[in-house]
Each structure stands twice: as C-alpha cells, then as structure tokens.
Amino acid sequence: MNQNEEIKETGTVRLEGTNRNHNIQLITIIGEIEGHETSSSNTKATKYEHLIPKLAEVEDNDEIQGVLIILNTLGGDVEAGLSIAEMIATLSKPTVSLVLGGSHSIGGPLAVSADYSFIVPSGTMIIHPVRSSGMFIGVIQSFKNMERTQDRIVDFIVNHSKISKARLEELMLDPAQLVKDVGTLLEGEEAVKEGIIDEVGGISQALKKLHEMIDGEEITEIYNDIGIK
C-alpha cells in the first residue's frame, strides 16, 4: 500500500526523514469509533479492524521509534474504543496524543492512553456516563453490566492521567452542563487543570515532545549497553 492509499484507508502515515532522523508513526482517530457494527456510509469513522493490526505492526517494527496519535472524535463503540486505548497504552514505543476539535465520550480513554497528552486551546472533551438506547431484557443485569463498563472506563482514565476517581465521577454526573443529559464539557485549558490532559499545545509541541521522548529512550539504551544505570 502506498502512502496515499494508507492515509485514505487507515488514516495512518509514516513520518520519515525528519530533522532529527526519527521514524514516527502517525495515527488518526477521527469521527465515530466503529466497532462490531458498521457505521452509516455518510459517517466518518475510524475502524477498529484497521487500527488494531496497525498498532501491532508498530510494536513489532524496530524501525518505528515513536507514535503520534491525533484525535477528533465524538466517541462511538465503547468496547472497540477501550481495546484501542489498551493497545496504545501497552506499546513499548514512546507515544504522544493530540486532541484536535474534540475527544468525546470513549475518546477520553483514547486521549489519555498515550504516554503524554496535548489538547489545542479550542479542543473539547465531553465526560459522561455510559449510555444505551433500545429496550432492555433483564433490566437489573443490563444496568449492572453498564455500571461495570463505566467502572472500566473510569479506572482506565484515572490510571493514565492525574485526575482522581472521585473528581472524574463528579464531572460525569454533573446535571447542569449538558442539555437533556448529565456530564461535563471541558475546553482545552480546563481539561489540563482537571488533570485529564497533560498540556495545552498543538502539532509542533506534540512532535517536539515525542522527539524528546525518543531521544531519552536512545540515551537509556546506550547507558544500558555500557552498564550504566
């Protein structure tokens, strides 16, 4: 697959020949996170079955030194989003995320799954409880399953950011901000102040941070090779 086809089909591209000679994989998570069900043909979607193999390839490719994840998503399939977030969080390569536009709903775990996260000043994050539509069969069991899924999301965000569990749940259940719903909309600086995102910044800051992290990895490897800890 050539570079143009890779961008079109998977939203990914290799950034090679940089001024620091680092080999970086760019991954975009845009639109709806598509899981087991196919999104409407009119909906811009990030496909779970594209990203999982790509992330596995990134981990297994010695040439790739770091990963930049750019997000602009309204959310989508919870299980697919959490699976992608877990894959990113367990990569051994340095990772940096950048929220452009929005990273809503299950986009929250995706934004914090990287080693370091940025959000542009105009970027937004919507934090809300797990929701479901349609008729339930076995209401109590279904509700408990939704509670457990929400706990998984909360635990993931708390374990990969600086926000406390109590504060995150408070933001999730705020009835005052969202029309006909509970939750909280955070803009760029607010997401940083709450401890969800590490820093306000754009593409230049994100790439600079990733280059620094790769340089740090290279220095650590040199020290290890010569027996210095």
Q: How far apart are CA 49 and CA 35, in angstroms?
A: 8
- β-pairing, 95-103 vs 184-187, is unpaired
Q: How far apart are CA 175 and CA 53, in angstroms?
A: 39
Residue 131 phi/psi, 5-degree rounding, is -120, 155
CA–chain centroid gap for 224, Å, is 31
Check if the beta carbon of residue 52 is closer than 8 Å to that of residue 87: yes
Residues 6+ apart with CB under 8 A from 43: 31, 32
Q: Which of 22, 104, 128, 211 is catalytic?
A: 128
Q: How far apart are CA 182 and CA 71, in angstroms?
A: 23
36 is catalytic: no
b/e code 57-71 from CB counts within 10 Å (16+ = b): ebeeeeebbbbbbbb
211 is catalytic: no
Q: Which of 97, 103, 105, 161 is catalytic?
A: 105
Residue numbers annotated as active site: 105, 128
